[in-house]
Amino acid sequence: MSLLTDLVSYWNFDSNLNDSLGNYNLTNNGTESVTGIINNGRDFVSADEDTMYNYDFNDTVYALSIWFKPKTQITAGGTTQRLIAFRTTATNQRFLNFGDSTILATDETLNILTGTSSDYGRTYIRDTISADWHHLVISWDSVNSKYKIYLDGVEKTTYAGSGSAGHAVLLDNTNCIGMGNIFGSSSSHLNMTIDEAGIWSRALTSSEVSELYNGGDGLAYPFEDKKIGPFPMHLRE
């Protein structure tokens, strides 16, 4: 299946914040254009309220791919950094965070958090994340009703929140997308550079995740510049 199939939005951040598919252009609030994994990306400063957002986003997120480069190493129990928020209502929000959510666990480095403050569902990983470029994919696993989390092309072991809600639920019924500390507290600022973000209305396979990772080089929309080779040289006798 082509990576273009059921692609909802793709932001390459090269010259602006427009969606390459024309569906959900983002509005900028403080982020700056810097060197990305492919051409340019967007830089967020931890001391500022840097965000990018679209208040008309209305799609179900079955898969999401994004490149990111933290400015400092992310370890278990570290400061919360809000990467993406998918707002549903003021009391029912869905977040993709780095660091400790401070809710039901303190050993996470990246978490998907859904629900209400009385009982959040959460799917998270515990892997230390270095201050380098990394490729992140979350992809819905309909068999087990939870998101798979891939980091740099590898599926990671995930853990569920200890509350009754268990794993984070599907990111649906959204009416907004925000990147950075939107709808967050003053302590949840994003302190990193991001690039090449895409959302699909279907799950991605492990092979497609590897294709997007592309050996660490990344693969930008329309997904045509895959790394090939090197090819062996054959000498003619």
The residues that bridge with 28 in the sheet, in sequence order, are 52
What are the boundaries of each domain within the chain? 7-212
pLDDT tens digits for range 40-72:
999 998 667 789 999 999 999 999 999 999 999
Q: Within 10 Å of residue 199's Cβ, how many Cβ atoms? A: 27
In one-letter notation, the amino acid at residue 36 is G
Q: Is 132 helix (H, G, I), strand (E, B) or coil?
A: coil
pTM of the model: 0.91
Spatial distance between the Cα atoms of 217 and 227, rounded to a whole number of angstroms = 8
Number of H helices, E strands in the chain: 1, 16
pLDDT over 90 percentage in the chain = 65
Which phi and psi angles does 8 have, rounded to 5°? -90, -50
235: pLDDT confidence band, cut at 50, 70 and 90? very low
- The answer to whether the CB of 122 falls within 8 A of the CB of 95 is no
The structural architecture, per CATH, of the domain 7-212 is Sandwich (2.60)
- Using omega within 30 degrees of 0 as the cis cutoff, is the peptide bond preceding 222 cis? yes
Query: For the ranges 55-59, 155-159, 211-215, which has the lowest average pLDDT?
Result: 55-59
